A and B are shown apart, each in its own frame.
Chain A
Amino acid sequence: MTDEVVRLENISKIYPLLSGDVLALNNISLSIKTGEFVAIIGPSGSGKSTLLNQLGCLDVPTSGDLKIGGKSITQMSDSELTHLRLIMIGFIFQKFNLLPLLSAYENVEYPYTLKYRKRDTSGRVTKLLDMVGINEDLAKHKPSELSGGQQQRVAIARSLVNNPKILLCDEPTGNLDSKTGVLVMNMLKKLNSKGKTLIIVTHDPGIAAQADRTITIRDGELVADVVNNQ
């Protein structure tokens, strides 16, 4: 039980709309262990992103209990959830989502500065950028001056800077050509092999096949949870 990093118990998420409530997640229970590589698949609108947002503490479920690193988040304040996102979770988005005003280097440094209230003098930022293949010259550029693949690599470096337990990726290769996509996937897999819990939402069966475990969502319900053996 000690290596369980995420635990969902009867999670439901309802969006109240004027036209009627939308049941985006329906009574989902599951447990994810430290170091696992989980792919979440399902048709469009099935609730994959909604589920990922709950895991990433961007939102709290309407009912049910959600534990991250053993702590229940359902009763946490916005400020506590925000802090949890800062220290426990690394986000990688389909649209990269780098901060346009900051250089690649500053983008990676940003969460570090928020957490430690100081600039990085340990060389951690440079090391991470180096690891994802962004050299010192490129690191000075603004996101708008980088290619999609370069931006996504900066985003990976950024997600790692505070040494999070969990990496959450929503279609991380969705905006990349297949060659760059493979490159990014290899990077994420390498991080997973070093012990990071990796949770990826994807439409790509090829990516899902690389995961340890595939969870299928349909109409907000968990319809399949398969361990891939190879």
Chain B
Amino acid sequence: MKDIIFAMAVRNVKINILRSILAAIGITIGIISIASMGMLGTNMTASVTDSLSSMADKLSVSPYSGKGGGGGPPGMSGDSDNLTKKQFKDIEKIAGKYGYVYGVHNVRAKVKKGSDEWSTQVYGLETDAMRTILDNLTAGGYPSTDNSVLIGPTFASDNDMEVGSRFSVGGSGVKVSGIIESRGMTMDLNTDSAIVMTKDMYESLFGAKDEYNQANIVLEDINDADAVTTALESQMNRREETIRVQDSSRMVSMISSSVTTITSFASLIASISLLVAAVSIFNIMMMSVTERIREIGVLRSIGTQKKEILRMFVYEATLIGIIGATLGMILSIIMGYFFILIMVGSTKYFFTYDSLIHLPYAMVVGLIICIFSGLYPAWRGAQMDPIEALRAE
């Protein structure tokens, strides 16, 4: 070894290998915690964004009720305010070139089956919209007769219904023609526990001819959301506020950012473990310096410079850091993988750049903390008076 100062640092770590490894484990644990938390954040955000992005391409336009507020997804209340035929035409004209526009009737209506009576959400859609938006049925087919309807999977299972089941809605008897596949949380139509019927049937039962409760837009390109919103609002709300546009991509980004906030907070907590590691490295380095006071005295007396003594101890702390960081990196990959498998339920995004970048990042942070913790003890060693040091026992 060419650098004798480095060689001595290596030997001191080797001689005290157990102690060095114990101190390094602190760093290892710290690195595992922050790397795992970081990777958890990335993977969670990615998978949440993924499952939300299917709904991020949707806008819905509803009439402005003048009541203000109005959280919650649109279409949940059987509001009597409807879009006029003209308004719907305007919306089609403005938004049509950006994607698919369709009108939605909806109301909460009484449902009766045998002696049971309850109320549920009823949607009315054009047949074309039905086939486009609700493009997956788990059973049966789209309504072909005047009195057949689609039902959501939850509605079906809650009420023991299947294709061909009969019940009455809004006082009129209907037959189930098909069951819609589960669509989970969506921003446009919440069909899982609802009944979906044709526009014609809806209008014959509940009126409101050609006056939809809302218009939904499925964008071809997510990035058009702002442009469409602006276009609709500027053209239709010019004189007075007549419509309200709900942009689901805003909601998606809000959810994503709160996931990020939560995982950043978790990372912060995880970095406390690095603080603990720093204390243990500091402790070990102080011990190493104290044990070697006499040796420092000898080194200094025969011509070793202060900065070389400093270097020797910094090397030592760095070596411990490298042991800890390497161990931490290996374990982070293994433990992080299973951790994410359990917490997120999928490792689809584990081997991506954004996720794996947390490994070198955590490693560098761990190493820097290690070197910093060794700096003060090393400085103390270097500042030692050679005569005093030689006198030490």
Q: How far is the CA of A158 from the CA of B305 in the complex (A)?
A: 17
**Which residues of chain B from 126 to 175 have a CB within 8 Å of any chain A CB?**
none
- Beta-carbon contact of B303 and A115 below 8 Å: yes
Q: Inside 8 A of B390's CB, which chain A residues have their CB?
A: 93, 97
Q: Inside 8 A of A114's CB, which chain B residues have their CB?
A: 4, 303-304, 308
- Beta-carbon contact of A91 and B302 below 8 Å: yes
Q: How far is the CA of A87 from the CA of B303 in the complex (A)?
A: 8
Q: Inside 8 A of B297's CB, which chain A residues have their CB?
A: 97
Q: Inside 8 A of A58's CB, which chain B residues have their CB?
A: 300-301, 386-387
Main secondary structure on B side of the interface with A: helix
Q: How far is the CA of A87 from the CA of B305 in the complex (A)?
A: 13
Please tell me which stretch of B8-16, B334-342, B343-351, B373-381 contacts chain A, meaning at least 4 of its Cβ atoms lie within 8 angstroms of it. B8-16
Nearest CB of chain B from residue A97's CB, rounded to whole Å: 5
9 tightest Cβ-Cβ pairs between the two chains A and B: A86-B303, A101-B11, A97-B298, A85-B303, A113-B4, A82-B305, A58-B386, A101-B8, A111-B302
Interface residues on A, range: 20 to 34
Q: How far is the CA of A59 from the CA of B2 in the complex (A)?
A: 31
Identify A83's interface contact among B8, B294, B303, CB under 8 A: B303
Residue of B nearest to A109 (CB): B4
Residue of A nearest to B12 (CB): A101
**Which residues of chain A from 173 to 192 have a CB within 8 Å of any chain B CB?**
none
Q: How far is the CA of A110 from the CA of B294 in the complex (A)?
A: 17
B299 within 8 A of A: yes
- Beta-carbon contact of B295 and A111 below 8 Å: no
Residue of B nearest to A112 (CB): B4
Partner-A contacts on B (CB < 8 A): 2, 4, 8, 11-12, 15, 294-295, 297-306, 308, 386-387, 390
Q: Inside 8 A of B298's CB, which chain A residues have their CB?
A: 97-99
Given A99-B298, A106-B4, also A79-B306 (CB < 8 A): yes
Nearest CB of chain A from residue B308's CB, rounded to whole Å: 8
Residue of B nearest to A86 (CB): B303
Q: How far is the CA of A197 from the CA of B178 in the complex (A)?
A: 110
Q: How far is the CA of A59 from the CA of B4 in the complex (A)?
A: 26
Residue of A nearest to B8 (CB): A101
- Beta-carbon contact of A78 and B306 below 8 Å: yes
**Which residues of chain A from 72 to 110 have a CB within 8 Å of any chain B CB?**
78-79, 82-83, 85-87, 91, 93, 97-102, 106, 109-110
Q: List 13 A-B contacts (CB under 8 A).
A: A53-B387, A82-B303, A82-B305, A83-B305, A85-B302, A85-B303, A97-B294, A97-B301, A98-B298, A101-B11, A111-B303, A115-B303, A119-B2
Q: Inside 8 A of A59's CB, which chain B residues have their CB?
A: 387
Q: How far is the CA of A162 from the CA of B299 in the complex (A)?
A: 15
Q: Inside 8 A of A99's CB, which chain B residues have their CB?
A: 8, 295, 298-299
Give the one of A78, A100, A102 with max B CB within 10 A. A100
Identify B302's interface contact among A79, A86, A101, CB under 8 A: A86
Given A58-B387, A102-B8, also A85-B299 (CB < 8 A): no
Q: How far is the CA of A111 from the CA of B300 in the complex (A)?
A: 11
